[in-house]
Amino acid sequence: MNLISKTLILIAMLLIPVIALYMYSNEQSIAVIEDQINTANQDRLARFLNEIESTLNQVSNYSNIITKDPDFAKLARNASSIDRYDYSVLSETAEWKLGLFSLSTDWMSRINLYFPATGRAVSSHSTVVYDENYLQQHLNPHWTFRNVTINGIDKRTFTRYFVEPYTGISNLRDASIIVEFDLMEDNIVRLLDQFKSKGNNDPFLYKAPDQYVLNHSSDERMARRIIASYDIAANSATKNHDVIRLDDKKVLIYFLGSANLGWTLIDYVPLEDIVAPMTKSRYLFYATVPLLLLLGIGAAIILYTHVQVPVNMLMENVSKLTQGNFSTRITSKANQEFAPLIGQFNEMAARIQHLVEKVYLEEIRAKEAIMKQLQSQINPHFLYNCLAYIVSMAKLNRPQPIVPMAYSLADYFKYTTRNVAMMTTVREELDFVSSYIDIMNYQLDKFHYTIDIPPSLEKQWIPRLLVQPVVENAIVHGLESKPEGGGIRIIGSEEHDWCSLSVEDDGIGMPEAERNALNARLKESDAGGDSFGLWNVSQRLRYQFGEQSGVTVEASPSGGLKVVLRWRKMQS
């Protein structure tokens, strides 16, 4: 598990308790807010109904005053004992008093008085006619809701009858005065408007599915749906608020009945509106959590890139050093904290590489010194064979091959004993190889050779005695033990910045397993086995031209072996 994973897990472990605690706190807060709102709304409904109840009680008091007033009592008695003028004055006085009673309250109202004994009636607003049938149909000691026409205008009123004495309710002839009190629906609507203006609710009064009073801005469709979907009469006895679902939205409804009026005050508000601030706060918190998570991820990434990545680079390059890759360097731009450490690592790696290369160079120089020493010494066996060949040719009286043999031998020893320069051109090296092949061919007389290189390759510089060991290996191990004759092909080529020379023979060849093992040994830093000559050539190429240069051994299409020397071009 890397650093960024650990950091993300730590952030998640910190966020989970915070989210859980917030969710619990949010639920508790919503519950407390709903409880407080429910209590407050119930108080508001109670105050609203108290105001209506107070007005209704005031109407009852006015009715008692009216029934006890002497002027109204005179009108209630038989009018035959009163002359026409006095009756007219008395009627006007009664109407004036009714008007005062009607104006004494803030509510718009109409008061009608009926006198069954005299068959007369007076009104606070308009002329009214005594109609016994009308009274028998409408007489009710409770408040009722009905349609009336006042001064030619249709209105809806809350109406109640007060009878003196009360026994006149059942028998009109026993009643002396009947007071008909009409409270206009507009009074209730005005109160509902005032009640609504104090909140985001929508109150209305309800009696029956066809009897309800709405405020001016009420949503009648919603009110009808609430009435149709909730049995208020059945639930009002046990609760005063409830939650219903309309259009997949929760609606909180409040209801409180009026014992005097017989109606129920209903108020409703979408639950989402009540908890909107808390919901907004919750959504804001939920939106903040991903932001915090992103910030945490960003912090983890910054921590990873500024700490883990440099540490990984250091570990990777230290591993390369332990594997022998001393040229490794940290090239990535490090942050300010790790820059000194990476700089010191690169400096350390450079010093190690310098020391290792110095040791390798000293080893190569030691080997070259040995080679120079060997080169400076005449190979007795090689020289003996050459001189024996010349003597044999002289005894056989065959002077023709003696001269070229002597010249080739002279060129060979002149090249091998010249220790001043370590580098030579490809052309000079191949001329030396030609002399060596001619000498060997004079003795064996069983192979031929061809050299094919482009002119541009002839001018390339290579270490001295680079190709001759490869050719010697082809003759000794490939062609000398072959009964019939054979051939050697030396081919040169160039490709972009690279040069190659291949020495190919059609000798006895080498099995694939041995070739693979030989190629593996040629890439090692220490010589092993009996292929020191080829390993030496490969190492000289690598140290002279770079790690990608070297020697590879392949199978020749002609059945023998193909040795390829590959190196990067040197600048002039």
Tokens of 394: 């002289």
77-99 pLDDT, tens digit each: 655 556 666 667 777 777 777 77
- Give residue for tokens 């939650």: 243
% of the chain beyond a pLDDT of 90: 11
Quick one: average pLDDT of 160-171?
82
User: At 467, is the pLDDT very low, low, confident or very high (cuts 50, 70, 90)?
Assistant: very high
Q: Do the bridges between strand 144-150 and strand 120-123 make them parallel or antiparallel, or are there none, so unpaired?
A: unpaired
181-216 pLDDT, tens digit each: 888 888 888 888 888 876 677 888 888 888 888 888
Same fold, 199-274 and 421-568: no
| pLDDT score for 527 | 63
Distances in whole angstroms, Cα of residue 45 to Cα of each of 48, 54, 201, 274, 545: 5, 14, 11, 17, 100
Beta bridge partners of 504: 489, 562
What span, in angstroms and rounded, lies between the C-alpha atoms of 237 and 253?
15
Q: 421-568: what CATH class?
A: alpha beta
CATH number 3.30.450 given to 199-274: yes
Tokens of 457: 């390759």
Domain ranges of the chain: 69-189, 199-274, 421-568
pLDDT over 50 (residue 413) = yes
188: left (phi over 0), alpha (psi -120 to 50) or beta: alpha
| Helix count and strand count (H, E) for the chain | 18, 17
497-551 pLDDT, tens digit each: 899 999 999 988 899 999 899 988 888 876 665 667 788 888 888 888 888 899 9
Contact by Cβ (8 Å): 516, 553? no
Q: What are phi and psi of 472, to 5 degrees?
A: -60, -40
Contact by Cβ (8 Å): 461, 422? no
**Max CA distance (Å), the chain:** 198
Question: Measured at the alpha carbon of residue 408, what is the angle toward residues 405 and 411, in degrees to the nearest 5?
Answer: 150
Count of Cβ atoms closer than 10 Å to residue 210 Cβ: 7
